[in-house]
Amino acid sequence: MRWFTAMMTIVTWVPGGAAAQARDVDSTDRAYFMLQDEAPLSCLLTYFPPLFIQHGIELKSFLRSEAFRHIRERFGDVRALDAVYVRSMQLTDNNTAVALLLSTIASFDHRVVGLKVPVFQLFFPLSNESETEFDRRVGNLPSKLYPDTPPEGDHDKLEHFFGSAFLTVAFETEEGADRFGIFVEKGEDAFIVGGVSDERDLRADREGQRFGKALLEDNRRMPSEFLGTEKSPKVAPSDGEPACAGVW
């Protein structure tokens, strides 16, 4: 939920291994893991607000679907993140930045976010889904992402991973995204109702940053190449491409 405020800030500012081993992808499932070459400049249409909203609805619908549940069961939760990224790229005609933003929003696992302000608290909705739709989507989110994943799962790590990748593409550098992620994480206790600082969130942030940096060079890279590549810190840290690769 803490990524809601962060995403809204950047959108207005930026210019115009606990998973099962993956099996071989057969022809039936190949479409969920393969990026397509789109017509040049078609990705710019995704900036049209009605299309952006529609793409978000369709991506959430995909996460609720039996097809996505099948992907998780067959290929594991880490590879399922590849399918999320590929689906968002298909919806946005390979607009990398918008695809990452949609993936972040579709991964939110809270219906509302509460902000602590003097005297009272403010709550903002994060989803217009029905309660049934929301519960089905969150229950279908990949959650077994790391060897140290707790019994209740790691649903919230998806928004950290995709959100940090988005920030890296937006800033075109890991450093800016890293500072922003640390600021959000350190401020969670103070500003977010029920927020708790978690060093494992920072691990997901930095893996997402490496993913985003790689996408700046080649947006055919996949989340599974980067998730689980960094150990959880013991102490708090210091401060041939498809068209429209990394476009803004």
More confident residue, 179 or 173: 173
Task: Encode pLDDT of 93-118 as tens digits.
Answer: 999 999 999 999 999 988 777 666 66
Residue 195: its pLDDT value, please? Answer: 54
- In our burial notation (b when 16+ CB lie closer than 10 A, e otherwise), range 37-63 reads ebeeeebbebeeeeebeebbeebbebb
pTM of the predicted protein model? 0.78
More confident residue, 170 or 3: 170
**In sequence order, which residues have a C-beta less than 8 Å from that of residue 104 and are 6 or more positions away?**
3, 7, 159, 162, 163, 166
pLDDT mean across residues, the chain:
79
Structural domain spans, the chain: 3-11+41-142+156-225
Residue 20: its pLDDT value, please? Answer: 39
Q: What is the mean pLDDT of residues 125-139?
A: 90
Q: Worst-scoring range by mean pLDDT, 49-53, 70-74, 147-151, 229-233?
A: 229-233
Task: Encode pLDDT of 199-247 as tens digits.
Answer: 888 899 999 999 999 999 999 999 999 998 776 555 444 445 555 555 5
